[in-house]
Amino acid sequence: MPLALLALTAGAFGIGVSEFVIMGLLLEVSADLVVSIPAAGMLISGYALGVVVGAPVMTALTAAWRRKQTLLVLMVIFTLGNLACALAPNYEVLMLARVITAFAHGTFFGVGSIVATGLVAPDRKASAIAVMFTGLTVANILGVPFGTWLGQACGWRATFWAVTAVGLIALAVIAAFVPRDKATPEKPDWRADLRALGRAPVLLGLLTTVLGFGGMFAVFTYIAPILTEITGFADSAVSPILLVFGGGLIVGNLLGGRLADRKLVLTVLGSLLILAAVLGLMTFAIHSKVLAVLFVGLMGIAAFATVPPLQMWVLSKAEGAGQSLASSFNIAAFNLGNAIGAWLGGAVIDQGPGLASIPWVAALVPLAALATALLSLHLERSARISQVKLQSACPCD
C-alpha cells in the first residue's frame, strides 16, 4: 500500500477515536456533568450534526486549496477541538467543542476518499477507500477500548487529552507522507457541482447512506447500558467487548471493499439486508452473555461492510462534476445517520418500549435503506429504457 494511503488511515484513526470513544464513557460523563444518559448520548448526535453542517461548509471554504493543505488544516481543527473537550467545564461547552471538532470530519473523509482513489489502480478504488476507513475500524478495536479504560480509570477528560495527542501525531504523519498536488486546483464551478449533487441518483444514494448507518448507531450508542443493564455484564467488561466490535469493523470494512470492487450494486443491497437481519436477531441475543458478545462482533462486520460500497456508490453517481462535494456530503450522510440513530435509541428508552427493544426498532432502519436503494435502481432503469425509446424513435439517420 502507498505510504500516503497509510497516512490517510492514520488521520482517520484519530478522527474515529474522537467520534466513537464517548460511547464507552456515557455513564462517566453523565455522572460527572450531572446529566441523564440520553443527554450524554446527545453528545454523539451533536458531533454527528456538526459533521453534517461542517462537510458542505468546509468543502466550500477549501475548494480552491490543494488537497494536502486542506487535510492538514482539518487535522489542526480536529486537534484543537479535542483539546477544548478535555478542558470543557460543563456540558454546554463540551457539546460546543464536540461540534467544532466535527467540522473537520466530513471534508477530511470526503477529500481523503478522492485522494485515496487516485493512489491506486481503477479496479482497486473501493478497496483504497476501505483501507482509509480501516483507520476508523482500528480506532474502534484499539483506540475506543483503550480510551474507555483510560476514562474509567483516570476520568473521561484524560481520554480527550490522549485523543489530542493522537491528533498531533496524525498531523505529523500526513505532513510527511501525503504528496503535494501536482497541479493547482481549478476554480470551483459551484453551479455544476450543485447540479451534479441535485441529481436523483445522488440524492437517493445519500438517503440510502443515512438510513443504512442509522440503525447500527441506535444500538451502538447505548451499547454500554445494554450490556450492563440487560445482559448483566459488569462495567469493566464493556471495554473488552468493544474489542470484539472493533474486530468486526475491520473484517466488515475490508470485506465490503473487496466485494464492492467486484459487484458494487449487489454488495450494497446484500450488506443492508444482512445488517437488518443481525440487528433484528440481536433483540434475542442480548439476553445471553455468549450470544451478546457474538452479535456485537457480527454487528460490527455487517455495519462496516456497508461503508465502502455506499461511499463508492455515491461517488459513481456523481462522476465528474461535483464528485468532491458529493463525497463530503456522503460522509455527512453517514453522520446524519449517526445522529438519527442516537436520537432514535434515546427515544426508545425515554418514550418507547425501553432499552431492550432498541435492536428490533433499529433493524427497521436498514430495511428502509434497502427500499431506497431499490427505488434508485428502478428509477435509473426506467430512465435508461426511456432514453433507448427516444433514440429508437428519432428519425435522424
The 8-class DSSP code of residue 143 comes to I
User: How far apart, in whole angstroms, are the C-alpha atoms of residue 212 and residue 202?
Assistant: 15
Cβ atoms 299, 245 nearer than 8 A:
yes
pLDDT band at 183 (very low <50, low <70, confident <90, very high): low
What is the per-residue pLDDT across 25-76, written as a single tens digit (0 to 9) for each? 888 888 899 888 888 888 887 887 888 888 888 887 887 788 888 899 999 9
What is the per-residue pLDDT across 356-366, written as a single tens digit (0 to 9) for each? 999 999 999 99
User: How far apart, in whole angstroms, are the C-alpha atoms of residue 134 and residue 16?
Assistant: 10
Cβ atoms 275, 291 nearer than 8 A:
no
Residue 396 resides in a domain? no
Helix axes 3-20, 125-138, angle to 10 degrees: 40
Q: Which residue has the higher pLDDT, 389 or 170?
A: 170
> Domain residues for 149?
3-179+187-385
The answer to whether residue 397 scores a pLDDT higher than 60 is no
pLDDT band at 195 (very low <50, low <70, confident <90, very high): confident
Residue 291 resides in a domain? yes
**Considering its fold, how many domains does the chain have in total?**
1
Residue 117 resides in a domain? yes
The pLDDT value recorded for residue 197 is: 74
What is the per-residue pLDDT across 278-309, written as a single tens digit (0 to 9) for each? 999 999 999 999 999 999 999 999 998 998 88
Task: State the pTM of this model.
Answer: 0.74
The pLDDT value recorded for residue 231 is: 93
The cell for 67 is 488537497
Residue 298 resides in a domain? yes
The pLDDT value recorded for residue 275 is: 95
The pLDDT value recorded for residue 126 is: 80
Residue 392 resides in a domain? no
The alpha carbon of residue 68 and the mean position of all alpha carbons in its chain are separated, in whole angstroms, by 22
What is the per-residue pLDDT across 203-215, written as a single tens digit (0 to 9) for each? 898 899 999 888 9
Residue 97 resides in a domain? yes
What CATH code is carried by the domain that includes residue 156? 1.20.1250.20
CA distances from 165 to 18, 104, 139 (A): 11, 16, 14
Q: Mean pLDDT score of the chain, rounded to an integer?
A: 85
The cell for 96 is 460546543
User: How far apart, in whole angstroms, are the C-alpha atoms of residue 232 and residue 235?
Assistant: 9
What is the per-residue pLDDT across 132-164, written as a single tens digit (0 to 9) for each? 888 877 876 777 778 888 988 899 999 999 999
Q: Which residue has the higher pLDDT, 325 or 301?
A: 301
Residue 395 resides in a domain? no
User: How far apart, in whole angstroms, are the C-alpha atoms of residue 102 and residue 157?
Assistant: 18
What is the per-residue pLDDT across 369-380, written as a single tens digit (0 to 9) for each? 999 999 989 888
